[in-house]
Amino acid sequence: MDVSAGESVAVVGPSGSGKTTFLALLGGLLQPLAGRIHLETPHGTVNRTAAHVSWVLQTVNVLSDRSVLDNVALGAFSDGLDRTTANDHAVRAIDRVGLGEMSSWPVRTLSGGEAQRAAIARAVISERPVLLADEPTGQLDEHTSRHVVDTLLRSAEDKITVIVTHDNSVAARCSRVVRLSGRRLS
């Protein structure tokens, strides 16, 4: 499968077909048993490492005792931006996912869907060239899901974006849909 910068690909398939494993292979968390995976960015081919990938995981991964702002700013701060610039980027991303009024709240006080939106905001402000999302709207209602997918896709316009989803409306919004079944992409 080839994916270009600026393209968003939805990966769909039945439960247990290997979608999350596929993302782990793309993101360099697992090594392939056969074949090879390489990442070609506008700056040339690079090795797949965590330094090139931002993630939105199926299970919300946040620092629960830290504020929404701290959690989101981490995405830019870990890319090397200074704290002030990272916070500025984070404030804008928090507003785009509809959590502006909750910026100073500890994440542990948020609902599951709100915490997921904070994780999405953190991923989209990262300057890493690849964004991988595993069921990013799984905990969101339909209206919030549409809004968050808008933010995710708009913010990743210059990135390689791969989204694993069971939600056909999310898949339809991506520039391409591939199916994973029987451990084969089609």
CATH number assigned to the domain comprising residue 133: 3.40.50.300
Tell whether 3 is covered by a domain.
Answer: no
Arithmetic mean of pLDDT, 5-21: 91
User: Which residue range(s) make up the domain with 37?
Assistant: 8-185
Name the burial class of residue 101, with classes exposed (0-12), middle (13-18) and buried (19+) by CB atoms within 10 angstroms of its CB: exposed
Answer whether 129's CB lies under 8 Å from 54's CB: no
pLDDT in tens, 115-128: 988 999 999 898 88
Tell whether 37 is covered by a domain.
Answer: yes
Q: Over pLDDT 90: what percentage of the chain?
A: 42
Assigned token pair, 39:
């990442």
Domain tally, the chain? 1
Q: What are phi and psi of 48, to 5 degrees?
A: -75, 120
Position 9 scores a pLDDT of 95
pLDDT in tens, 16-66: 889 999 999 888 888 888 887 877 666 666 666 667 888 888 777 889 999
Tell whether 2 is covered by a domain.
Answer: no
Residue predicted with more confidence, 73 or 126 = 73
Using 50, 70 and 90 to split pLDDT, how confident is the model at 2? Answer: confident
